[in-house]
A and B are shown apart, each in its own frame.
Chain A
Amino acid sequence: DTAVSQTPKYLVTQMGNDKSIKCEQNLGHDTMYWYKQDSKKFLKIMFSYNNKELIINETVPNRFSPKSPDKAHLNLHINSLELGDSAVYFCATADRRDNEQFFGPGTRLTVL
């Protein structure tokens, strides 16, 4: 049983398209995150949600919009995709007791 899952694992699309990445967790954690790992492998936070409420928005273009339909899901919608959006996107969750974070397997997005 995967604790944090993401779909799809790979996403190849053309510039200008709109796409979504889905994240689901079965850990019962209240906090969920989206991180971006660039081509140099540097990981940076994009958003965090706590109980479906947006907590952190780290100067991410407004083409990126997270949506949390319920506590177990945090989806990432990206409009008007650009070449620079190519990266690996990771979903993560945190245990509120100690803030230990658990990551999903990642979604590799390639924009052509």
Chain B
Amino acid sequence: KQEVTQIPAALSVPEGENLVLNCSFTDSAIYNLQWFRQDPGKGLTSLLLIQSSQREQTSGRLNASLDKSSGRSTLYIAASQPGDSATYLCAVIKGGSEKLVFGKGTKLTVNP
């Protein structure tokens, strides 16, 4: 059974800092990995999708890496801003499955 763990559960940083959010998964036979952002009371916004054959994806100040063999992904946020404050969720889909398995998220607070 696939399990996804995100560490830390919460993170508070001053504005301008670069930071890394971690995601690990128990079954390396994944099809892809997706990072989402969830603002309080809102839905999920897809940030980055990494296919199992890829090592990283970048979008603006965000960079996500994937190491399938070790069951790990990181989301790097450069020059953090107060507007980045949200909960960040990592989710994986197993090959041959339709099912997205989520971690419990990292709640990020960027202080001005």
Question: Which residues from chain A sit less than 8 Å from chain B, CB to CB?
Answer: 4, 31, 33, 40-45, 48, 50, 55-56, 58, 90, 92, 94, 98-106
Known A-B contacts A41-B87, A43-B89; A100 and B46 likewise in contact (beta carbons under 8 Å): yes
Chain B residue contacts of A40, Cβ below 8 A:
104
Please tell me if the beta carbons of A45 and B42 are within 8 angstroms of each other in the complex. no
Q: Are B99 and A56 in contact (CB under 8 A)?
A: yes
Task: Say whether B99 contacts A48, CB under 8 Å.
Answer: yes
Whether A43 and B99, one on each chain, are in contact in the complex, defined by CB atoms closer than 8 angstroms, is no
- Chain B residues packing against A (C-beta within 8 Å): 31-32, 34, 36, 42-46, 49, 51, 87, 89, 91, 93, 98-102, 104-105
Asked if residues B51 and A98 are in contact (CB atoms below 8 Å), the reply is yes
CA distance A55 to B101 in the complex (A): 16
13 contacts between A and B (CB under 8 A): A40-B104, A43-B91, A44-B102, A48-B99, A55-B98, A90-B43, A94-B98, A98-B49, A99-B98, A100-B34, A101-B91, A103-B36, A103-B46
Q: Once bound together, how far apart are the Cα atoms of A44 and B32, in whole Å?
A: 17
Which residue of the partner chain, among B31, B43, B51, B100, contacts A104 with CB atoms under 8 Å?
A: B43
| Minimum distance in angstroms from A29 CB to a CB of chain B | 12
Chain A residues with Cβ below 8 Å from B105 are 41
**Does B31 lie within 8 Å of A102, measured CB to CB?**
no
